[in-house]
Amino acid sequence: MQTTQYLGEIIKELNRTADFIADEEAEKLVNGILEAKKIFVAGAGRSGFMSKSFAMRMMHMGLDAYVVGETITPNLEQDDILIIGSGSGETRSLVSMAEKAKSLGATVALVTIFPESTIGQLADITVKLPGSPKDQSDNGYKTIQPMGSLFEQTLLLFYDAIILRCMEKKGLDSNTMFKRHANLE
């Protein structure tokens, strides 16, 4: 298969993912974000990169958003939300973050393949995304892509859709957000 044919297959897979995401779950996440004082995002590996891009767009909206683990990240408090992107919902470092956030009284949200996971059981808000875990040997969801690629791509696009819904609810447009874009170049 040619590279462009693979691209076409990936796009087809991504097209199918939207049908498997519950609007009610997504709307709970949107409301949790808009009601929070501060927003914290976390993820490991490629899911972490998707979370960082999500935090950047929230900053462009004027929301107080941070990436857990960065040097300028403030303390998490009771009126805050921690959003974790984790295919498995079992990554030890992320489980510890969720436990700590819960102990501080913050809202915990999880975007995952497995809502019944350890983090899913701790979460106040859970959004299930389709995808295949890194170990595809025991999974019913089929993808041509390796490891967790389909989940990670869907996570990025889902986060972008959450941004659009937040923009709609806040009455923002791209021009307003562009004013908060870095201009030091």
Catalytic residue annotation: 152
**Would you tell me how many other CB atoms lie within 10 Å of the CB of residue 88?**
19
Gap between the Cα atoms of 27 and 24, Å rounded? 5
Q: How far does the chain reach from its first CA to its final CA, in angstroms? A: 40
H or E stretch at 107: strand 107-112
Q: What are phi and psi of 164, to 5 degrees?
A: -60, -40
Gap between the Cα atoms of 113 and 140, Å rounded? 12
CA angle in degrees (0–180, nearest 5) for 173-56-73: 135
**Would you tell me how many other CB atoms lie within 10 Å of the CB of residue 9?**
14
Instruction: Tell me if 141 sits within 8 A of 132, measured CB to CB.
Output: yes
**Would you tell me how many other CB atoms lie within 10 Å of the CB of residue 52?**
14
Tokens of 41: 């995002």
